[in-house]
């Protein structure tokens, strides 16, 4: 590793042992970065050096910042961090705010000053915040004053957290007051190594305690110069919009990394429901949208009468994109949604194809700069067309913060994402399920998302989730939880209609033997279906039936 600029060596001290790292591949010339690198210099300061600082950068309902204006705000916060708050390179800083220009400025300032960002979602509560603060040994937080209540509740639970500085409030101790000092408009970026940690992204914790994923300065550029450059292919005149919080790396890419790498603008709306997204696209003339499949499906019902003619690219990730949603969105808008799979461990998307190479229903081909294959449970390559575990490697990869689960995610130099896939003869990857979402019924392997995709194509179905429910005879049966469209009645007749519909579309043994109609499905803040919650419901239902 390159000599670190970090005075606080916590992150390097808590990287996994080198033998547990994945292999890193830098096959493309654009992925070979210099040993000394601060990614904010490349993402932001380069536009000032090119005399393009007057380009629009961040757009929101309350303010619009050019690249030069954002650069000055970043510099002022970086000076506050180093001069007033005594930030040492390598210190971790917790950030807590909705998606706003100020949040992005704080994010970039921490990295430019040599610190390590730990961004958190606005919906997290004190217990969850204290876990991140404790795991990453955080002593300083920057927070939107509107979220102060839960932040203050966190402090007694996180003894290492010495200081919280708020913005959006009055007083000499506010971040804005500290930023206003004379001479704070300039700041020289910390001379960090390309392999210094600049981000700890915590996973959603759906399979246990959240894991802290550590990413280097070079990783931030690598996702831009692989997926951004070769698949997304955005330009300086684009205007990005999306729904994911900045605390998720999917949101970080769509809101910050990809637009700033090409000199484009990024639109920040604090509420990003499907209706809000449509309104934002229309009002701010967005050209590229990043959101989850659920949001695209929800927007379909509201797109009529909206002027979204500015939109030219749509990216989907977070869960598999059903072909029915792809087809309906293309019919309504003329745009082919770009599906992709990424992971917090990998930073962003590593499989996904540009519009001209999309094969509907497939996630796509491997992103240039990455390698991917399908392996069996013993790590051996399987034949094309066979189902197995997805393995990937490239310029980014998993490095958990002091976590024994590193050995489970990385094996033989490959990142094992926990997804089940097949790969066809043309190199396209076809999603089956999360590895723990496969349903085994009477000896048959059934992928829940495949059944969901068929059900979503039926006009009565608005949303659905399919999981395995315990069954004495078959081990598991396929159970569907369905949200109906308005005007539909979830009765026995409709259940039989839907079951027959599935039997006619895919192998009959995959049909849902149990159907339950619900008002809503459990989802994360980014719209990802929480199948583990449905599995809990299915298990509880089975226990109740046996008891009765």
Q: In this structure, is residue 429 part of a structural domain?
A: no
Q: What b-and-e string marks burial along 22-37, b requiring 16 or more CB atoms within 10 Å of the CB?
A: bebbeebebbebeeeb
Q: In this structure, is residue 29 part of a structural domain?
A: no
Residue 322's domain is classified under what CATH number?
A: 3.40.50.12780
CA dihedral 535, 539, 542, 543 (to 10 degrees): -160
**pLDDT attached to residue 293:** 87
Which letter does DSSP use for residue 307 in this model? -
**pLDDT attached to residue 205:** 55
Could you tell me if 187 and 318 lie in one domain?
Answer: yes
More confident residue, 438 or 536: 536
Paired tokens of 444: 């048959």
Could you tell me if 133 and 264 lie in one domain?
Answer: yes
Rounded mean pLDDT, 79-83: 98
Q: Which of 10, 105, 91 is nearest to 60 (CA)?
A: 105
pLDDT range class, residue 316, cuts 50, 70, 90: very high
Residue 20 burial (CB < 10 Å; 0-12/13-18/19+)?
A: middle
Q: State the Cα–Cα distance between residues 224 and 357, nearest whole angstrom.
A: 19
Range of the domain at 226: 39-407+416-423
Above 90 in pLDDT, residue 86?
A: yes
Residue 484's domain is classified under what CATH number?
A: 3.30.300.30
Q: In this structure, is residue 26 part of a structural domain?
A: no
Above 70 in pLDDT, residue 375?
A: yes
pLDDT range class, residue 113, cuts 50, 70, 90: very high
Query: pLDDT tens-digit profile of 431-458?
Result: 887 777 778 787 677 878 889 989 999 9
Asked which of 389, 423, 457 is the last residue of a domain, the reply is 423
Give the distance, in angstroms, between the CA of residue 136 and the centroid of all CA atoms in the same chain: 20
**Cβ neighbours of residue 537 closer than 8 Å, sequence gap 6 or more:** 481
Could you tell me if 494 and 396 lie in one domain?
Answer: no
Could you tell me if 396 and 283 lie in one domain?
Answer: yes
Could you tell me if 287 and 339 lie in one domain?
Answer: yes
Q: In this structure, is residue 58 part of a structural domain?
A: yes
305: left (phi over 0), alpha (psi -120 to 50) or beta: left
**pLDDT attached to residue 208:** 59
Q: In this structure, is residue 428 part of a structural domain?
A: no
Could you tell me if 451 and 399 lie in one domain?
Answer: no
Asked which of 365, 395, 423 is the last residue of a domain, the reply is 423
CA atoms within 13 A on the CB side of 39: 29
Count of structural domains within the chain: 2
**pLDDT attached to residue 349:** 98
Could you tell me if 343 and 231 lie in one domain?
Answer: yes
Query: pLDDT tens-digit profile of 125-140?
Result: 888 899 999 999 999 9
Rounded mean pLDDT, 218-233: 98
Above 90 in pLDDT, residue 515?
A: yes
Q: In this structure, is residue 523 part of a structural domain?
A: yes
pLDDT range class, residue 532, cuts 50, 70, 90: confident
Q: In this structure, is residue 23 part of a structural domain?
A: no
Q: Which range among 78-82, 464-468, 537-541 shows the weakest confidence by mean pLDDT? A: 537-541
Above 90 in pLDDT, residue 507?
A: no
Rounded mean pLDDT, 306-325: 92
Could you tell me if 73 and 208 lie in one domain?
Answer: yes
**Is the separation of the CB atoms in 234 and 257 below 8 Å?**
no
Q: In this structure, is residue 32 part of a structural domain?
A: no
State the pTM of this model: 0.85
**Is the separation of the CB atoms in 392 and 414 below 8 Å?**
yes
Q: State the Cα–Cα distance between residues 217 and 445, nearest whole angstrom.
A: 41
Could you tell me if 200 and 274 lie in one domain?
Answer: yes
Asked which of 395, 423, 451 is the last residue of a domain, the reply is 423
Could you tell me if 139 and 244 lie in one domain?
Answer: yes
Q: Which of 159, 505, 190 is nearest to 324 (CA)?
A: 505
Above 90 in pLDDT, residue 525?
A: no
Q: State the Cα–Cα distance between residues 491 and 504, nearest whole angstrom.
A: 20
Could you tell me if 265 and 381 lie in one domain?
Answer: yes
Could you tell me if 372 and 489 lie in one domain?
Answer: no
**Is the separation of the CB atoms in 174 and 146 below 8 Å?**
no
């Amino acid at each position: 590793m390159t000599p670190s600029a970090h005075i606080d060596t916590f992150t390097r001290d808590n990287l996994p042992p080198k033998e547990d790292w994945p292999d890193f591949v830098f096959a493309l010339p654009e992925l070979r970065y210099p040993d000394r690198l601060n990614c904010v210099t490349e993402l932001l300061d380069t536009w000032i050096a090119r005399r393009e600082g007057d380009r629009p950068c961040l757009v929101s309902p309350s303010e619009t910042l050019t690249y030069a204006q954002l650069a000055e705000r970043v510099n002022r916060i970086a000076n506050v961090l180093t001069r007033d708050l005594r930030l040492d390179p390598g210190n971790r800083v917790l950030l807590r705010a909705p998606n706003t220009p100020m949040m992005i400025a704080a994010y970039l300032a921490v990295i430019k000053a040599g610190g390590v960002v730990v961004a958190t979602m606005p919906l997290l509560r004190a217990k969850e915040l204290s876990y991140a603060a404790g795991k990453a040994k955080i002593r300083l937080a920057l927070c939107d004053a509107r979220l102060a209540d839960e932040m203050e509740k966190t402090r007694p639970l996180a003894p290492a957290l010495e200081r919280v500085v708020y913005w959006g409030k009055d007083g000499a101790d506010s971040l804005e007051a500290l930023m206003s000092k004379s001479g704070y408009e300039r700041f020289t970026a910390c001379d960090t190594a390309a392999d210094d940690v600049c981000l700890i992204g915590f996973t959603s914790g759906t399979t246990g305690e959240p894991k802290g994923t550590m990413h280097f300065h070079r990783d931030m550029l690598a996702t831009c110069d692989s997926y951004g450059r070769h698949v997304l292919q955005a330009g300086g005149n684009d205007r990005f919009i999306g729904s994911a919080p900045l605390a998720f790396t999917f949101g970080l890419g769509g809101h910050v990394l990809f637009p700033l790498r090409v000199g484009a603008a990024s639109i920040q709306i604090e509420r990003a429901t499907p209706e809000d997204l449509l309104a934002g696209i229309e009002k701010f003339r967005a050209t590229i949208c990043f959101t989850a499949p659920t949001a695209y499906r929800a927007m379909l019902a509201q797109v009529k009468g909206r002027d979204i003619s500015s939109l030219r690219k749509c990216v989907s990730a977070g869960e598999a994109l059903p072909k029915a949603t792809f087809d309906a969105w293309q019919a309504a808008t003329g745009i082919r949604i770009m599906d992709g799979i990424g992971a917090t461990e990998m930073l962003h998307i590593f499989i996904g194809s540009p519009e001209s190479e999309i094969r509907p229903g497939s996630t796509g081909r491997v992103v240039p700069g990455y390698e991917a294959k399908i392996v069996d449970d013993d790590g051996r390559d399987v034949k094309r067309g066979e189902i197995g575990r997805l393995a990937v490697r490239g310029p980014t990869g998993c490095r958990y913060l002091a976590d024994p689960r590193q050995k489970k995610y990385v094996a033989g130099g490959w990142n094992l994402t926990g997804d089940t896939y097949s790969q066809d003869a043309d190199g396209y990857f076809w999603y089956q399920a999360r590895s723990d979402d496969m349903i085994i019924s009477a000896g048959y392997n059934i992928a829940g998302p495949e059944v969901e995709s068929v059900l979503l194509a039926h006009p009565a179905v608005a949303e659905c989730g399919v999981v395995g429910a315990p069954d004495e005879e078959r081990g598991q049966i396929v159970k569907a939880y369905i949200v109906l469209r308005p005007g539909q009645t979830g009765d026995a007749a409709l259940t039989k209609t839907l079951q027959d519909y599935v039997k006619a579309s895919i192998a009959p043994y995959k049909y849902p033997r149990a159907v339950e109609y619900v008002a809503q499905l459990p989802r994360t803040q980014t719209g990802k279906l929480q199948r583990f919650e449905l599995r809990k419901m299915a298990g509880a239902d089975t226990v109740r039936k046996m008891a009765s």
